[in-house]
Structure 1
Amino acid sequence: MFDFDQYLGFLAFLSILTLGFWLMIFLLTFVIPYWIGGALIERLKEIREEKKAKRQNS
């Protein structure tokens, strides 16, 4: 059915496909929410500091 080189190519394709799938799952469930959450926390800190600076200047 398959020659040995075709079999190796098919295995390489499946392994790359599987690695890509799990990488996307990892990125979508951990990395991107962590990145967005950190950005929101930093933005809220900046907003609080701006409000505090306005109150002290007034």
Structure 2
Amino acid sequence: MFEFDQYLGFLAFLTILTIGFWLMMFLILFVVPYWLGGNLMELWKERREARRAKREA
């Protein structure tokens, strides 16, 4: 069947694959929404400030 070094290589491959999967899930579920929300808030602040500056001038 498998020799011991092939078994270790397969376990290393599964470990790297699993770590990559959970890193991708973390990025998609937490980091991307945080990034999008922050960018939208900054965009709204800039538009609000531009509107106020235009109104005052």
- TM category (shorter chain) comes to over 0.9
Q: What is the total number of aligned residue pairs between the two structures? A: 57
Stretches of 4+ aligned residues off by more than 3 angstroms: none
Q: Once the two structures are aligned, what percentage of the paired residues are identical?
A: 68
Unaligned stretches of 5+ residues in structure 2: none
Question: One-letter code of the match for 1:41?
Answer: M
Alpha-carbon displacement from aligned partner over 1:14-54 (angstroms, at most 9, x marks no partner) = 00000011011101100000000000000000000000000
Counterpart in 1 of 2:35? 35
Counterpart in 2 of 1:45? 45
TM-score if structure 2 supplies the norm length? 0.97
Unaligned stretches of 5+ residues in structure 1: none
